[in-house]
Amino acid sequence: MTSVIKSIALQGLNGILVRIEVDISGGLPAWDIIGLPDASVKESKERVRTSIKNCGINLLSRKYVINLSPANVRKQGSIFDLAIAIGILQASEEIKEDAKIDDVIFIGELSLDGNVEAVNGVLPMCIEALKYGIKKVIVPKKNVLEASCVEGLKVIGVSNLQEVIDYLNGKIDLKEEKFNSQKILKNEEKYNIDFNEVKGQAATKRALEIAVAGNHNAIMIGNPGSRKNNDGKENCYNLARYDF
């Protein structure tokens, strides 16, 4: 059986709609991912297979061919894990064939225990998805806040693969996540370290203070041992961790 699931890839900030086509047939058992995938996409077959198994679903020993279309665009990252898993499950008839997913894109990385992990670039992906007429996006729970910033798009946050399966089969109902500006304003990271704990490095600290004040980016460059990174020594902090 064949199934087609949609996801989206980014080239810079431009989105490209990706069709995950899955075909399951007889013959020698194998998993092949084609369509110009990079190493992280090729590795997804192990994450997908194990996460499906840990959801209590035993896949038959068949030949699985996963095509990422268009084939002339390089696919990068782990963002296609969830879409590949859903495609395989629908082709295996674990998900209803009539599940309404024609205008849905799936974004998310799978862990081996079936959890759906956060990925980078969800906001521009959702913005670009609207240009392709996509009405709904299923994303990791941790990415819901940024995805909900896009008006006109129904955002569903999920925590694990089993939750997605039950939702598509109509066993559970997941609420649409609405944009909440107060959550964004309150979502401030707190750090337990301070510049006054760093010995020396006056010029470095001054440069970072200027970068913060002017909302500039900062990059630290130096020879090995110059303590630009956290090398495990006492009173040594990774100042480069701060995102300005």
CATH number for the domain including 84? 3.30.230.10
Determine the straight-line distance between the first and last CA of the chain, rounded to whole angstroms.
49
State the total domains in the chain.
2
pLDDT at res. 193 = 75
In a domain, 189, yes or no: no
pLDDT at 215 over 90: no
Q: Note whether 112 and 227 are same-domain residues.
A: no
CA neighbor of 95 nearest in space, from 154, 26, 164: 164
In a domain, 164, yes or no: yes
pLDDT at 169 over 60: yes
In a domain, 19, yes or no: yes
In a domain, 35, yes or no: yes
- Residue of 199 and 236 predicted with greater confidence: 199
Q: Note whether 129 and 13 are same-domain residues.
A: yes
Q: Note whether 38 and 133 are same-domain residues.
A: yes
- The arithmetic mean of pLDDT across residues 93-105, rounded, is 88
Asked if residues 163 and 190 have their Cβ atoms less than 8 Å apart, the reply is: no
SS3 130: helix
Reading the block at residue 148, the tokens are 């909900």
pLDDT at res. 240 = 41
Q: Whole-model pTM?
A: 0.75
DSSP run (H or E) holding 166:
helix 161-168
Q: Note whether 138 and 222 are same-domain residues.
A: no
In a domain, 176, yes or no: yes
Q: Note whether 156 and 51 are same-domain residues.
A: yes
Q: Note whether 19 and 118 are same-domain residues.
A: yes
Q: Note whether 41 and 145 are same-domain residues.
A: yes
Q: Note whether 159 and 226 are same-domain residues.
A: no
Domain end: 138, 157, 184, which one?
184
In a domain, 30, yes or no: yes
SS3 137: strand
Q: Note whether 131 and 206 are same-domain residues.
A: no
pLDDT at 70 over 90: yes
- The arithmetic mean of pLDDT across residues 92-110, rounded, is 91
Cis amide prior to 29 (ω within 30 degrees): no
pLDDT at 149 over 80: yes
CA neighbor of 220 nearest in space, from 239, 237, 234, 201: 239
In a domain, 190, yes or no: no
Lowest-confidence region among 88-97, 105-114, 182-191: 182-191
Q: Note whether 206 and 154 are same-domain residues.
A: no
Asked if residues 3 and 90 have their Cβ atoms less than 8 Å apart, the reply is: yes
Lowest-confidence region among 2-11, 47-56, 222-231, 234-243: 234-243
Range of the domain at 225: 195-241
